Amino acid sequence: VSALRRVAIIGVGCTRVGEHWSRSLVDLFSEAALASIEDGRAPEIDAVFVGNMFSGFAVHQEHLGSLLADSVGLSGCSAVKVEAACASGGVAMHQGFTAVASGMADFVLVGGVEKMTDTSVPVTLDALMMAENREYSASSGITFTGLNALVARLYMEKFGATQEEIASFAVNGHRNAVNNEFAQFRSSITVEQVLRSALVADPLHVLDCCGIGDGAAAAVLCPLDRAREFCDTPVEVAASSVATNVLSLCERDDPLSFDATRRASSRSFHAARLSPRDVDVLEVHDAFTIVGVLSLEALGFAAVGEGARFASSGGIALDGAIPTNTFGGLKARGHPVGATGIYQIVELFWQLTGRAGKNQVDGARIGVAQNVGGVDSTSAVHILRRVDG
Amino acid sequence: VSALRRVAIIGVGCTRVGEHWSRSLVDLFSEAALASIEDGRAPEIDAVFVGNMFSGFAVHQEHLGSLLADSVGLSGCSAVKVEAACASGGVAMHQGFTAVASGMADFVLVGGVEKMTDTSVPVTLDALMMAENREYSASSGITFTGLNALVARLYMEKFGATQEEIASFAVNGHRNAVNNEFAQFRSSITVEQVLRSALVADPLHVLDCCGIGDGAAAAVLCPLDRAREFCDTPVEVAASSVATNVLSLCERDDPLSFDATRRASSRSFHAARLSPRDVDVLEVHDAFTIVGVLSLEALGFAAVGEGARFASSGGIALDGAIPTNTFGGLKARGHPVGATGIYQIVELFWQLTGRAGKNQVDGARIGVAQNVGGVDSTSAVHILRRVDG
């Protein structure tokens, strides 16, 4: 195999997640992208990778690579949109990593953006179901929340987990989001509030589910051996992997095994010569509480069937075994779907460079981000490492 | 910079372009992908890159990477959809090239697919306009054909070119498509027929414009040093470049200069240490006759203002200075937008391996493909080279 170059992140930026009624997709991306370029003091940008799931469906705009590169003064460079449902941000990061690692580009802007509130909620829910098989699953009438509810019910039945234990994942995210100025929901909640909130798809209550929001996030990558020219505290992308699983939940042998995440994390840990024990801070894709639970198990931070109990017993808290979703996660920071994978990278960068404020994990050196499309039909797993000395 | 691995194409496949009323996007992709895997005798596939422009808008299906990998038995591998309007196929090829060149993957399936006939023609025309700026250009009411008509009018005024000269580009494509069993339109036409056909957007007649069609195409890539294990006649991807221009036509200094193509072709010729004089066969993006003409100029095969005269005087014919669109081009082979860039690769592969039948360019050794999104807002330029001995 060829000799890949080592890759670093030198700057990041993002918008607040929320209902940005007065701002367009272009406005949001530009704010995040320009912030990341300024943060990283990048002298140039050779290529742009934009993660986005459904701009065509929702705002009737495609060609986001060229459009958004142009919007921040980068017309001329290589630019492309990449899509893998809610993992679009993570796969954009993966393509950016590959471009720098290969030597095809030196300075790469990776961004994610989603404008979810320009259409009605039923249209947005229909858009999200494009992550599953339209001809079969979607035509049955089930929603994306419904699919995840089936998974939650099966998990409870098989492992004796309780709704309270699963709900603790949302409580953790909300607690952390209080201190995140970019979060969509900055209020603490309790397990009792989750269980008293409206039932969306039994057993998932509305507070088990992430909200609908607009947002954009961006990061600038360059070769590690040049990173210190532009950044006092570069962070290395120690590994980047994308993997898939059988797309449709109904066709899988084991609906409770997140095999895309298992494959991607196995490859990334192997490439970085690290294991879950080495990780100081974790971002998992908790689009629904049950997804956070199963992700902990697939990544190797909890045994099979133990994820919910691990979370509810404090394992994912800031002072727990593995501080998780320290800026609120999808549930509380928000989940503008195509941007989420990049928000995770932004937040890990802040943790690993000591910029995480009140939620700083002391001495955090290794971070992992897991970003999922569909019900773990695609998974992108990145391992970031602080560069010491 | 790092040492990129050399990359080869070992197999290709495609569907006929046309109105496939009874076949889905998944059906079409699977046919092309399985044909390419069989053609290349690939022992495994590590990653899938799917080019597609508007499946979300037209058939309410996203997540094509995971969906289509799964549909051909490749669930587990890395998979992603890439989009750059009508250049989606070309940028998918570029991502696949980068994955193999970097060593991130050994065997890569690059495919393109578009299902354009599942919606009404007005919806399809609206979908195509997503290549331009929705908030500004599209909201003026102009269609994508209208934008290209303005370019054609300006070209005629500035350089004294005639409609007859420009129309010759379509005549060339139709003449070549007669012998292409995968082409949408297999009938010869004359310049007089183009000028007598319905006027769509003055000065463009309907026979100046490509049609609407469904189709899929695919190719399998691997490291050049392993290609002979699987293929008697591998073709090297000697260079792969993507570049952009100011997105909107109305914001450009010179609407007649295809600067994205100029940048991408300049980078590719430089990387391959070749010039237009070395090229034996050419595929250009003739979505409209005028786009073919301006592409010839931007790629360096005709002087500025001379492209139409060059085409009409036989320069692009099979026996001309540079045989162009030898399987019919977008006009006659057809233009299922996200697949077009891969159809070009398939057809060049056939030419460079002596499988072009009645339209074979004798001794063809170097081929160039140019695939454009928007009015040359994105351009992907690939140089392929037959591997001798």
Name the region of B273 (left: φ>0; alpha: ψ -120 to 50; beta: rest).
Answer: left
User: In the A/B pair of chains, how many CB contacts fall below 8 A?
Assistant: 238
Chain centroid offset of residue B183 CA: 14
Q: Confidence class of residue B2 from pLDDT cuts 50, 70 and 90?
A: low
Which residues from A are below 8 Å from B247, CB to CB? 63, 66-67, 70, 75
Which residues from B are below 8 Å from A76, CB to CB? 243-245, 259-260, 263
- HEC letters along B126-143: HHHHHHCCCCCCHHHCCC
Averaged pLDDT score across all residues of chain A: 97
Q: How distant is the Cα of A227 from the closest Cα of chain B, in angstroms?
A: 15
| Catalytic position from the list A77, A86, A210, A231 | A86
Name every residue whose Cβ is closer than 8 Å to that of residue B147 and which is 6 or more positions away in sequence.
B132, B137, B249, B375
CA–CA gap between residue B53 and residue B57 (Å, rounded): 9
| Catalytic position from the list A174, A285, A335, A382 | A335
Q: Confidence class of residue A191 from pLDDT cuts 50, 70 and 90?
A: very high
The percent of residues in chain B predicted with pLDDT above 90, rounded, is 96
CA–CA gap between residue A240 and residue A91 (Å, rounded): 9
Chain centroid offset of residue A345 CA: 8
Element (H, E) at A378: strand A378-386
Q: How distant is the Cα of B104 from the closest Cα of chain A, in angstroms?
A: 7
The percent of residues in chain A predicted with pLDDT above 70, rounded, is 99
Q: Cβ–Cβ of A60/B126 closer than 8 Å?
A: yes
CA–CA gap between residue A281 and residue A370 (Å, rounded): 12
Across B16-23, average pLDDT: 97
CA–CA gap between residue A290 and residue A304 (Å, rounded): 13
Q: How distant is the Cα of A40 from the closest Cα of chain B, in angstroms?
A: 21
Higher per-residue pLDDT: B370 or B139: B370
Q: What are the tens digits of pLDDT across the range A198-229?
A: 999 999 999 999 999 999 999 999 999 999 99
Q: What are the tens digits of pLDDT across the range B82-105?
A: 999 999 999 999 999 999 999 999
Higher per-residue pLDDT: A380 or A2: A380
- The whole-number pLDDT of residue A389 equals 62
Please name the residue of chain A whose CA is at the shortest distance from the CA of residue B135. A61
CA B42-B44-B47 angle, 5° bins: 105
Q: What one-character DSSP code corresponds to residue B362?
A: T
Element (H, E) at A124: helix A121-128
Please name the residue of chain B whose CA is at the shortest distance from the CA of residue A105. B1
Q: Confidence class of residue B388 from pLDDT cuts 50, 70 and 90?
A: confident
Please name the residue of chain B whose CA is at the shortest distance from the CA of residue A53. B62
Q: Confidence class of residue B3 from pLDDT cuts 50, 70 and 90?
A: confident
Q: What are the tens digits of pLDDT across the range B106-147?
A: 999 999 999 999 999 999 999 999 999 988 898 899 999 999
Q: What are the tens digits of pLDDT across the range B299-343?
A: 999 999 999 999 999 999 999 999 999 999 999 999 999 999 999
Q: How distant is the Cα of A277 from the closest Cα of chain B, in angstroms?
A: 25
- The whole-number pLDDT of residue B227 equals 97
Name every residue whose Cβ is closer than 8 Å to that of residue A48 and which is 6 or more positions away in sequence.
A65, A68, A69, A74, A77, A78, A79, A80, A108, A109, A110, A111
Which residues from B are below 8 Å from A47, CB to CB? 242
- The whole-number pLDDT of residue A1 equals 44
pTM for the full model?
Answer: 0.98
Give the type of residue at A354.
G
Averaged pLDDT score across all residues of chain B: 97
The SS3 of residue B173 is: helix
Which residues from B are below 8 Å from A126, CB to CB? 60
| B26-30: long-range contacts, CB 8 A cutoff, minimum separation 24 | B26/A135, B26/B67, B26/B68, B26/B71, B28/B113, B28/B115, B28/B214, B28/B215, B28/B216, B29/B64, B29/B68, B29/B71, B29/B72, B29/B111, B29/B113, B29/B216, B29/B218, B30/B68, B30/B71, B30/B72
CA–CA gap between residue B338 and residue B90 (Å, rounded): 9
Lowest-pLDDT range, A133-137, B24-28, B60-64, B380-384? A133-137
CA–CA gap between residue A204 and residue A194 (Å, rounded): 9
Q: Cβ–Cβ of A83/B66 closer than 8 Å?
A: no
ipTM of the complex: 0.97
Q: Confidence class of residue A3 from pLDDT cuts 50, 70 and 90?
A: confident
Which residues from B are below 8 Å from A124, CB to CB? none
CA–CA gap between residue A379 and residue A156 (Å, rounded): 24
- The whole-number pLDDT of residue B1 equals 44
Q: Cβ–Cβ of A95/B81 closer than 8 Å?
A: no
Q: What are the tens digits of pLDDT across the range A217-265?
A: 999 999 999 999 999 999 999 999 999 999 999 999 999 999 999 999 9
List the single best residue of A63, A124, A381 to mutate versus B (max B Cβ within 10 A): A63
Q: How distant is the Cα of A194 from the closest Cα of chain B, in angstroms?
A: 31
Statement: residue A2 has pLDDT above 60: no
CA–CA gap between residue A60 and residue B248 (Å, rounded): 16
DSSP A31-94: HHHHHHHHHHT-S---EEEEE-S-HHHHHS---HHHHHHHHTT-TTSEEEEEEBTBTHHHHHHH
List the single best residue of A102, A240, A381, A382 to mutate versus B (max B Cβ within 10 A): A102
Asked if A155 and A290 touch (Cβ cutoff 8 Å), the reply is yes
Give the type of residue at A169.
F
CA–CA gap between residue A124 and residue A112 (Å, rounded): 18
3-state helix, strand, coil in chain B (%, to 5): 40, 20, 40
Q: What are the tens digits of pLDDT across the range A316-333?
A: 999 999 999 999 999 999
Nearest to B175 by CA among B291, B307, B323: B323
CA–CA gap between residue B248 and residue B277 (Å, rounded): 32
List the single best residue of B26, B77, B83 to mutate versus A (max A Cβ within 10 A): B83
The SS3 of residue B352 is: helix
